[in-house]
Structures are given as C-alpha cells and as structure tokens.
Chains A and B, each alone.
Chain A
C-alpha cells in the first residue's frame, strides 16, 4: 500500500540552527500539507501546497518557514532559525482531489535545545 514517508524520524538541534524536514508524498497525490503537533496539544495546520505553490498558510507559518518541492517527489519544510517553541512533531500529509482524505506520514520529531 502506498504511504507517505518522512525523514528524519527525530532531529535534535540547537536554537538558531536551520532544519530541513523531508517528506515523500504518495506519488499520484496533488495536495501536500505540513502540520505540527506540540506534545499534548492539537494538530495545527501550517501550510498546504498545490500545483507547485503554497495555496494556504497559517499564522504559524511565518518568514522562518518555507516549503519546496524541488524534484517532483520530495516535499520539504525548512525552518531557517529554530526557536525553542518549534519543538514539536511535524506531520506531512498528502491527498488526492477525489476523496479529500489525507494520508499522513509517521512524523518527524524536532527537539530544539
């Protein structure tokens, strides 16, 4: 069964460092998303991406964040200068137009020290 894969599963970084989280969505999907979940809190929308551009972004997704789909398969989230409060689980998801269902990766846990 096709699945969304994310790397790394866990990254520990120092405050102020740049982090890139990688995702390989399901190949025939058209919509791509990043969500984050701080431990014990809700799943928060960060950004959606369609047709090689951002279609929606939340207030969390400030200038420190960016997304790219550099090669038609990977979908990356970059945090330019990490803050302590960026520590969270980051979930990538992809979806097709037809069903509206989202398929999630297993997440990348980011710990900022």
Chain B
C-alpha cells in the first residue's frame, strides 16, 4: 500500500461546481496532515492544515478521519483560479510525505 494515496483525477468541473478530493494514508502514527496546492511548474504551497475536528477556510473545507486514515478536501463554488494540482501531505515525526496529487481543471 502506498504511503499516501489520492484520487487519480483529473477532475474537470464547471465554474461554481463543488468538488471533493480524497486521500488515504498508511501510517496510523502520522501526526499532522495538510493539503498543498501546486500550479504547473511551480513549487507546492500550503493550502490548509487538516484538523481532527474538521476545518474551513472560505470555500475550502478539510476533514480528517483518523480511524479510517482518510483525509478529504471540499471546494465549493469553484473558480477558474482553483485549477491546479492538489497534494495531500502526511507528517510523521517531521517526515513529510506527499500523495501523487489530484489535478483539477475548472472550466468557464
């Protein structure tokens, strides 16, 4: 089983759509979790941390289910500028591992 596994995508959605990405991780001892965004040929940048209670940042909602070792990201009212690759990142003792990423394209 891969350390961090994500929906392969690509997701092609119209503007205004709601889209959800899923991620599973294999190491039950992992301590913290993140979603990063990567634009084409650019470095990854933190989108949001993921907390056990779930957290929201504007149109973005992240959820963590430790029992199922599952993380999700929900994007509501998607914008053209949301087009990017979304990377699930799992931290175990400062050993940060990335999923392969899910490519999102938002179309007019």
Q: Enumerate chain A interface residues (CB-CB to B < 8 A).
A: 31, 33, 35, 41-45, 48, 50, 55-56, 89, 91, 93, 95, 97, 99-107
Q: With CB as the reference atom, state the residue of chain A lying closest to B31.
A: A100
Q: Is the beta-carbon distance between B46 and A106 smaller than 8 angstroms?
A: no
Is B87 interfacial (CB 8 A cutoff)? yes
Q: Is the interface of B mostly helix, strand, loop or mixed?
A: strand
A-B contact count (CB 8 A): 56
A-B pairs, top 8 by smallest CB distance, nearest first, are: A104-B43, A42-B100, A100-B32, A43-B98, A100-B91, A56-B95, A31-B94, A101-B46
Q: Is the beta-carbon distance between B101 and A100 smaller than 8 angstroms?
A: no
Is B69 interfacial (CB 8 A cutoff)? no
- Write out, one digit per residue, whether chain B residues 38-80 have a CB within 8 A of any chain A CB (1) or not (0): 1001111110010000000000000000000000000000000
Contacts of B98 in A (CB 8 A): 35, 42-45
Contacts of A43 in B (CB 8 A): 38, 44, 87, 98, 101
Measured CA separation A91–B45 after assembly (Å) = 12
Q: With CB as the reference atom, state the residue of chain A lying closest to B89.
A: A102
Contacts of B100 in A (CB 8 A): 41-42
Contacts of A104 in B (CB 8 A): 43-45
Measured CA separation A91–B87 after assembly (Å) = 15
The number of residues on chain B lying at the interface, defined by a beta carbon within 8 Å of a beta carbon of chain A, is 22
A89, A101, A105: the one contacting B49 at CB < 8 Å is A101
Contacts of A45 in B (CB 8 A): 95-98
Between-chain CB contacts (< 8 Å), 14 pairs? A43-B38, A43-B87, A44-B98, A45-B96, A45-B98, A56-B95, A93-B96, A95-B96, A100-B34, A100-B94, A101-B34, A101-B46, A102-B44, A103-B46
CB distance from A86 to the nearest CB of B (A): 18
Q: Is the beta-carbon distance between A102 and B46 smaller than 8 angstroms?
A: yes
Q: Is the beta-carbon distance between B94 and A97 smaller than 8 angstroms?
A: yes
Q: With CB as the reference atom, state the residue of chain B lying closest to A106.
A: B43
